[in-house]
Every structure is written in structure tokens, then in C-alpha cells.
Structure 1
Amino acid sequence: MRHIRSAFHASALALALLSLATAPASAHTAPPDPAPRTASATPAGPPRAHRDQAPEEFVALRDIAPTIRQEIRYYTPHNFVGTPIDGYERPMCIVTKDTAKALARAQRSLLKRGYTLKVYDCYRPQRAVDHFVRWAEDLDDEKMKGEFYPQVEKNRLFADGYISEKSGHSRGSTVDITLARLPAAPTRPYRPGEPLVPCYAPKAERFPDNSVDAGTGFDCFDTLSHTDDPRITGTQRANRLLLKETLERGGFTNLPEEWWHFTHKPETFPDTYFDFPVSPRSLPAHH
């Protein structure tokens, strides 16, 4: 915590010294302590005792839509940081009930066409966002640059909007999501230290992923990830549009800079950034 010293004018200092010289010792009391700061999910959020407990509006996606595939990247080292991220205690998707129900409806529509939804990330605790910020400030750590941001200098990640101190994911209505064609075999685990291939390379050369080819991999820090980038054509563009149009019919809005990023509207908690960990124990007991 930073301590701020108040500046005194010369006249005020002189008066204070005179008072000290004449006042009895009992009058010299320490200034009152500042009001304690309460740790919370947001400036107006729940107190510390409830920080790790989700409100009843949150659910595990698998309880509402069990057929949606889940590949929670931040639980693993296969992400732009290169290590499991703070707050991801289990590889599970947690979202608000409204978001889960909307995803379930979209899934039913896609299953009829031979596709399934697959989530890479859902609710994201503030402690995870803080982890991203610390990593971005460490300019010497670039071990995952070759895959996730090969053409972006790390000192530009904040200015270019790839990293920020708050994330809509922390409000519980945002998901990072893609499509997979059925049947879809599981994606093999990432082996730390294996050779990295740029996230915009041809799909056959990128890290293997059982999802459809959308032109880039997930979390690709590149303008090619913009949903409507004109360089994305053919099947890649068709896959992006199928995902986007299906989710938009269900009440989701796409972030134009990331083809995989969607927020269900209206958000259940439009102004609250939660910090409970991604874990079954964070959810209400009946879940």
C-alpha cells in the first residue's frame, strides 16, 4: 500500500509546533486509522467472507448442456502465458443460468446439422485477469510468442487491446467458443516445450484441435482473428459465420476483434466482476 504524506504550509507547521509545546501529553493522540478496505469481487461486490462463493445465478454448463464439449485452456499450460492460470482449479465451464440455457438451445440446433459447440473459456475470475496483467508486464517472458502472438511485440499487448485489467468474462455471461464437426476425437494434450507454430498457419500445421477451421486458432493475437477480416474466405469464413449466426439467434453478441468471443445479452450481472475460483465448490450446494 502506498503511504501519502500531507504537505503543510509554513504557518500551519509553526502553529502545530506551538501546540505541541504547550499541550499536555494526554492530548497527543494518534490520528484515527483509515476505514478498513473490504476485499470484494468489485468495488460494490460481496465482502471477503463470500468472495469465493458464486451467487445462485451461476451454474456448471455441463448440468444444463452436457453435450457441449469443453476444452478449458487456462486450466492447462497451452495458452499464451504458458502455465495454468490463477483461479482455474478445475477444467470446467461456469456461466450464468441464462447463458447456459441459451447455449443449450444453440447446441440442439447444431446437433441436428452434425456439429457441436466447444468452449475454451467461460466465467473467468478476476484473479486470472490479474495473472494475465502480471504476465504482460514481464516483457522477458515470451515463451509462447511463437504460437499466440508471433507478429505482435509484447510491449504492445495493452495498447493494442489484447490484455486489459478487466474482462467481460468475469461477469459470467461471456464465453470463448467454437464448433467441432461430429464425431470429434479429443484434442491431444499440449506438451510444454514442444515446437510452436503460429496460430494463423494452415490448420494442418497448427497445434491439432478437433474444432473446425476458422482461419486461426483460439487466442490468436492477430488481426486475422477479427471476425470479418476480408482475408478469411471460403470454408474458414463459412465456419465463422455458422458459429456467429447460430449464437446471434440465441441472444449472443460477438466481439468483432475475436471470432470466438460471445456475450449473452442482457447480461445477468452487467456491472459486476467476480473473483470466485473455477471450481465445483464455488457453486451453490444444489449444483
Structure 2
Amino acid sequence: MPGRAEGGASRNPRSLAASALAATILVAAIPPPAFADALPAGFVRLADVDPSIRQDIRYAGSDNFLHRKVNGYDAPVCILTERAAKALSAVQKAVAAGSLTLVVFDCYRPARAVADMGEWTREGGPPDPQWYSRVRRGDLIAKGYVGELSSHSRGSTVDVAIARTDRRSSPSPACGAVDADTLDFGTGFDCFDPMSETAHRGLSTEAAANRRMLVDAMRAGGFRNYAREWWHFTLANEPFAKQRFDFPITAD
């Protein structure tokens, strides 16, 4: 039988307006969803600042001294403070003039990753011929090769080497990460051995010269080297010198 239109056309216009206003207020009161990959203020993904810098993030996979992914590395991505990323980009521009490129192995490291590494060392085990051939796993912290705290968690420390842009192979190091494109530095990244000390004596002439070139280039960009690891640099005027962060590393 005939009747009113569906929805009730005879409702009071004032009532309709009031209902619409209430709905608008309700929607406005619901906070927008947080994005899982949002970074804290002051942090950036290096690729957004300088995509020309090669990234070989070892702790996001199994090719590292733990032989597995490290907790907190959800993507093979370099994250740094914006100040450190811009300083590193300036270094990249300087080395690029010689047909070279920076290669980063680790950047910001979540505090949970540092704790994961510490727990792993306490499991104990024999020496590892690729990563730590002269010390047992349980002694890596005591010997200073693995830290219970890390400057990486402040966001302005980077583990870095230099490679050729023509990707011409160099001799593979006997210790540490094997990256055929990097220059000869005497060892690979994360070689837990006295040979990794920046000024270690007994290096080949080429390896010693390459270490000096890296240190000089990074120093000119405002970074200081950690003397026990030729690859380890921290921005001198880092913005969060007394803070450590624990957000996970995610892709864009």
C-alpha cells in the first residue's frame, strides 16, 4: 500500500541537522590511526636524503655474526638522525668525485637489538672462523667486541666502508663480512679481532691507505672514528647524545 518514502520524509529538519552535527563531532573525536612506520621527530630514512649511498644492512638478514636476523630489524633499511644523514650525504658527494661510493652496514640500532646481541653472547659457544676466530662467544662483551649499550641506539652512528662504483671486485677478507665491491680494508665489517683496530700495524699498504682515506673523508664530514673498529663513526655534534631509542627499523 502507498505510504511515506523510505527513511521517513516527515522528520523535523532541525532534528536532522542536530543528528548530522552530532555525527560530525563523533567522527572528529576519533583519533586517526598511527602509522606503524612513522619515525620519531628528527629521524629520517637515509634513502630519502641520499639514495646514491649503497645500503648493505647485515642485521636484517643472516649474513652476520649471529647468523640470523637481529630483533628490531624488520627491514634492510638505514635510519639515521636527519643531521647525521645530511652529513653522510656530504661525505658521499666528496668520495663520488673519485668514482667511489659509501656503503653502510648498520645505522640506527634499536635498543632491543643491542639486548638481543647481549643475550646471544651469553649463550656461549666456540670461536667462529669468519667473525671471531680468536675469542669465544661468551667473551665478546668482556673483550669489548659487543657492547651492552651502543651509540648506534642514539641514531647518529654509522658503520660504513667505501666501494668502487664500477663494482670491480677486491680480495675477499678472511674475517668479517664479505662484500666483493668494497675497497681492501684489511678485514671485513664486524671482524672481532685486533686487526680491525683503525691504526692496526701489519696491514698491507693498500688497506692502510684505504682506512686513512675513509677516516679523513668522514672526519671532514663531521664524524669521529671509534679506534677499535675502522668502520665505526659517530657524528661529533649528534642531536641525541644522551638518549637511546627502541623503535623498530621498518621500510617506507
Q: Which one-letter code corresponds to 1:161 in the other structure?
A: G
Deviation at 1:68, TM superposition (A): 0.3
Deviation at 1:155, TM superposition (A): 2.7
Deviation at 1:158, TM superposition (A): 1.4
1:80 equivalent in alignment to 2:51: no
Q: Write the distance in 2 (CA, Å) between the matches of 1:122 and 1:114.
A: 23
Match of 2:110 in 1: 125
1:275 equivalent in alignment to 2:246: yes
TM-score normalised by length of structure 1:
0.71
Q: Is the 8 A contact 1:227 1:240 kept in 2?
A: yes
1:111 equivalent in alignment to 2:96: yes
Match of 1:236 in 2: 207
1:98 equivalent in alignment to 2:103: no
Match of 1:191 in 2: none
Structure number with higher relative contact order (C-alpha < 8 Å, ≥ 6 residues apart): 1
1:150 equivalent in alignment to 2:133: yes
1:249 equivalent in alignment to 2:220: yes
Q: Write the distance in 1 (CA, Å) between the matches of 2:131 and 2:180.
A: 15
Q: Which one-letter code corresponds to 1:236 in the other structure?
A: A
Q: Is the 8 A contact 1:114 1:181 kept in 2?
A: yes
Deviation at 1:181, TM superposition (A): 1.0
- Change over 3 Å in CA distance of 1:230–1:81 after alignment to 2: same
Q: Write the distance in 1 (CA, Å) between the matches of 2:179 and 2:156.
A: 28
Q: Is the 8 A contact 2:197 2:229 kept in 1?
A: yes
Match of 2:15 in 1: none
Q: Is the 8 A contact 2:179 2:188 kept in 1?
A: no
Q: Write the distance in 1 (CA, Å) between the matches of 2:198 and 2:160.
A: 13
Deviation at 1:50, TM superposition (A): 11
Q: Percent identity?
A: 41
Q: Is the 8 A contact 1:73 1:120 kept in 2?
A: yes
Q: Is the 8 A contact 1:52 1:276 kept in 2?
A: no
Q: Write the distance in 2 (CA, Å) between the matches of 1:220 and 1:170.
A: 21
Match of 2:160 in 1: 177
Deviation at 1:208, TM superposition (A): 4.6
Larger gyration radius, structure 1 or structure 2: 2
Q: Deviations over 1:54-99 (max 9, x none)?
A: 3220000011111000000001101110101110011010000110
Deviation at 1:162, TM superposition (A): 1.0
Match of 1:164 in 2: 147
- Change over 3 Å in CA distance of 1:183–1:274 after alignment to 2: same
Q: Write the distance in 2 (CA, Å) between the matches of 1:270 and 1:166.
A: 13
* Counterpart selection for 1:217 from 156, 163, 188: 188
SS class of match (2:129):
helix
Deviation at 1:265, TM superposition (A): 1.4
Q: Write the distance in 2 (CA, Å) between the matches of 1:127 and 1:248.
A: 29
Q: Is the 8 A contact 1:174 1:262 kept in 2?
A: yes
Q: Write the distance in 2 (CA, Å) between the matches of 1:255 and 1:79.
A: 20
Unmatched runs of 5 consecutive residues or more in structure 2: 1-33
SS class of match (1:145):
coil
Q: Write the distance in 2 (CA, Å) between the matches of 1:62 and 1:71.
A: 12
1:260 equivalent in alignment to 2:193: no
Equivalences for residues 196-207 of structure 1 within 5 A: 198-199=174-175, 207=178
Q: Write the distance in 1 (CA, Å) between the matches of 2:240 and 2:72.
A: 20
Misfit runs of 4+, over 6 Å: 49-52
Q: Write the distance in 1 (CA, Å) between the matches of 2:178 and 2:54.
A: 18
Q: Write the distance in 2 (CA, Å) between the matches of 1:154 and 1:117.
A: 30
